[in-house]
Amino acid sequence: MATQSAWEFKEGTLPETGTFAPAPKNPEDLQQIAGRPTTYWNDAIRRIRRNKLAVVGFWIIIALFAIAIFGPMLSPYTYAEQDLTNTYQSPTLRHPFGTDQLGRDQMTRVLYGSRISLAVGVVCAALNFLIGVTYGGIAAYFGGRIDDIMMRIVDILYGIPTLIIVILLTVLFKDKGVNPLVNVFIAIGLTYWLPMARIVRGEILSLKEREFALAAKTIGAPNNRILFKHLIPNAMGPIIVTVTLEVPAAIFTEAFLSYIGLGVSAPVASWGVLASDGTEAIRSFPYLVLFPALAISLTMFAFNFLGDGLRDALDPRLRQ
C-alpha cells in the first residue's frame, strides 16, 4: 500500500504501523512543498513564458499588429498611387519590395494589406471560436435529443460546400450596402465554425463522463459553470489548434472572395490578393509574390507557435 502524499490521511486515521507505514506528517515540510498560491491564468502565463517558441510567436504577432497600424503612415507612398513609367521595378532602396504592374510601391501595399488580412484572420477566428465552442459544447453537454438536432443542422451545413454558403451570404449582404470587409467577416465567421463545433462536441462528450465532471455535478455546480469552467478548459488543446489553423484559412478565403469580386475591391489589396496577383508574374518578377507570401507564412507560423504554447499552458492536465 504505497501512497505519494501525506495529506490524504486525516490525523488519527493513520494505519497501524508496518513495513510500509506512511511517514508522519510534518507541518514544516508541508510549507516547503507548497508554492505561492496561483490562479488558473497566472499559472498559464507562467508556463507559456517558459516556452521560447510561443514567446517568439507572441512578439511577432505584436510586431505585425504594430506594423499594420503604423506602417502605412510611415511610407512616403500610398497603396493606390501609380507610376506607369516605373512598372515592375526590382527591389531597390526607393522601393524595398519593388513595384507592381502599375508602378505602385509593393512595400506600401504589403503594409496596407496586413491591416485587411490580419483583421480578417483575427475577427474570423474569434467568431469561429465563440460560435463553434458554444454550439459544440452545448450540444455535447446536454446530449440526447438536443445533441441530435444541433448536430444534424451541422451535418446539413457541412453537406453544402462552404464556398457556396460564403458566396451566397456575401451576395446577400452586398445589396444591403454593408462594407465589403464586414461582409467577409460575417460570411467566413458564420460558416467556418462547423469543424470547431464537431471537435468541441467530441471532446466534451468524453470529458463529461470523467470523474471531475461528475464530482462537480454532485456538489451541485450549475451547468454553465461545469461547461465553461471544467469541460471547455480541458478541451482547450484541440480548440486552440483549430483556431490557429483557421487564421490562415480565413486569409486565403478572403483572397479568393476578393478575386471573384465579393471581397475588397481594387485598388485595395490584402495579402491574399497581392499573392494571387503576384503568381501571374512569378517567372519574371518573383519578388511580387515573395513578400506577401512571406508575410502570410510569418503570420501563420507566429499563430501556430503561440497556439501550440497556449494549448500546453491552458491544459489543466499538464498543470504542475
Partner 1 sequence: MRKALSFVLISVFLVVALLGTVSCKATKGTLQEVTYNLGTEPATIDPALSQGIPEANVILQVFDGLTRIDKNNMPQPAIAKSWVISDDQKTYTFTLRDASWTDGTPITAYDFEYAWIRALSPETASQYAYQLYYVKGGEAFNMSIKSGTKYYVQAVDAKGNPVTKSVGGKDVAVPDMTKEIDPSKDVGVTALDAKTLQVVLESPTVYFLNLTAFPTLMPVCKAVVSTNDKWAADVTNFVTDGPFKLTEWSHNDKMTFVKNPTYWDKDTVKLSKITYLMVTDESTALSMFQNGQMDVGSTVPLSELPKLVASGDAKIFPYLGTYYYMFNVTKKPFDDVRVRKALTLAIDRNAIATSITQGGQVPALAYVPNGIADAVAGSDFRTVGGTFYKDADIAAAKALLAEAGYPDGKGFPAFTLLYNTSNAHKSIAEAIQQMWSKNLGISCTLKVEEWGVYLDDRNNLNYQVARAGWIGDYMDPNTFLDMFVTNGGNNGTGWSNKTYDDLISKAKVTTDPVARMATLHDAEKILMTDLPIMPIYFYTNPVLITKHVMNFYQSTLGFVDWKNAYME
Question: The C-alpha cell of 256 is what?
Answer: 479568393
Q: Is 87 or 162 the residue whose CB approaches partner 1 more closely?
A: 87
Stretch touching partner 1 by CB under 8 A, among 57-65, 150-158, 228-236, 281-289: 281-289
284 binds partner 1 (CB under 8 A): yes
285 binds partner 1 (CB under 8 A): yes
Q: Is 48 or 255 the residue whose CB approaches partner 1 more closely?
A: 255
82 binds partner 1 (CB under 8 A): yes
281 binds partner 1 (CB under 8 A): yes
Question: What minimum distance in Å lies between the beta carbon of 80 and partner 1?
Answer: 7
84 binds partner 1 (CB under 8 A): yes
Which residue among 267, 293, 300, 315 contacts partner 1 (CB under 8 A)?
A: 267
Q: Is 75 or 82 the residue whose CB approaches partner 1 more closely?
A: 82
Q: Is 160 or 266 the residue whose CB approaches partner 1 more closely?
A: 266
Question: What minimum distance in Å lies between the beta carbon of 85 and partner 1?
Answer: 7
Which residue among 222, 282, 286, 319 contacts partner 1 (CB under 8 A)?
A: 282
85 binds partner 1 (CB under 8 A): yes
172 binds partner 1 (CB under 8 A): no
Question: What minimum distance in Å lies between the beta carbon of 67 and partner 1?
Answer: 24
Q: Is 83 or 147 the residue whose CB approaches partner 1 more closely?
A: 83
Stretch touching partner 1 by CB under 8 A, among 10-18, 33-41, 182-190, 258-266: 258-266
Question: The C-alpha cell of 47 is what?
Answer: 508556463
- x/- contact string, 297-316, with partner 1 (CB under 8 A)? --------------------
Number of residues that bind partner 1 (CB under 8 A): 23
Residues 92-121 binding partner 1 (CB under 8 A) are 101-103
Q: HEC states along the chain?
A: CCCCCCCCCCCCCCCCCCCCCCCCCCHHHHHHHCCCCCCHHHHHHHHHHHCHHHHHHHHHHHHHHHHHHHHHHHCCCCCCCCCCCCCCCCCCCCCCCCECCCCCEHHHHHHHHHHHHHHHHHHHHHHHHHHHHHHHHHHHHHCHHHHHHHHHHHHHHHHCCHHHHHHHHHHHHHCCCCCHHHHHHHHHHHHCCHHHHHHHHHHHHHHCCCHHHHHHHHCCCCHHHHHHHHHHHHCHHHHHHHHHHHHHHHHHHHHHHHHCCCCCCCCCCCHHHHHHHHHHCCCCCCHHHHHHHHHHHHHHHHHHHHHHHHHHHHCHHHCC
